[in-house]
Amino acid sequence: MESSSLHARRDEIRVRRSSVVTPHVERLRRMAEKLEQLKQALYQAQMITRRNLHRALQFTSLHLAFRRRQLLHGLTEIYPISPPRQAMKAPIGAMTTGSASHPLMCYTIRGLRLPNNFNNILTSFDEEQVATALGYVCQLVCMTSKYLEIPLRYRLLYRSSRSVVCDDVTASSQFPLYFKNMEERRFEIGVILLNKDIEQLLQACIPTTSPYASYVRELTYTLENLDLLFRSQLAM
């Protein structure tokens, strides 16, 4: 009698427990399913967002590269660099080192010749024309570094035919890009530092695997290296 009463009591408790717990379990199951659905929806939204961001980034990068080429092309129109007439039809880098020091075999910027060797420069070149040409180069290198977002090691101060290069490490920080009433050695250092800036741009823009890399000339070939830099960037 007591045993049957105990069994009945247990059955009653089981039924009550089931009636109370089962709805909660079912509700938790539905909530878990909903959570899984939300997770899937969030994942899909993230993937779509990433794809959209990737496309937007690609578009922005292409637009930026196109705009940079436009700006660089504009610089070449403002400061055109021309090879010697004898080398007009020659391939890139075809100039010989021996002939490049002759005035008629020098590259020009806006029609002004710039020698590759400044030894005995006054015997063949007008000093004011050379200073003006170096001023053009200074402005061209400065603007190119800004457009390409490449900070130069040696700061350039464009002052037309009285431009200077700044070496902020040394005590005598400013070196002239003109040699009238200046020490010849300080002028030579200024030209070297300017060419170092051009070399920095070349190294940043022309990797060793580029077909243009084999045409990079010695440090003293100021205009020829600048011309090569623009050719490589505008051909991209």
In eight-state DSSP terms, residue 79 is S
Give how many domains the chain has, as a whole number.
2
- CB atoms under 10 Å from CB of 98, counted, come to 8
| Closest to 116 in 3D by CA, of 230, 235, 227, 200 | 227
State residue 88's pLDDT score.
46
- pTM recorded for the entire structure: 0.72
Radius of gyration of the chain (CA): 36
pLDDT in tens, 55-84: 888 888 888 889 999 999 999 999 999 988
Same domain, 120 and 218: yes
| Closest to 130 in 3D by CA, of 223, 224, 230 | 223
pLDDT in tens, 208-228: 888 888 888 888 899 999 999
- Tell whether 72 is covered by a domain: no
Same domain, 129 and 171: yes
In which domain, by residue range, is 130 found?
Answer: 79-234
**What's the token pair of residue 223?**
């205009």
- Tell whether 209 is covered by a domain: yes
Q: With a cut of 70, which residues of the chain have pLDDT below it?
A: 1-4, 6-7, 11-13, 15-21, 86-104, 119-123, 171-172, 236
Instruction: Give me the amino acid identity at 177.
Output: L
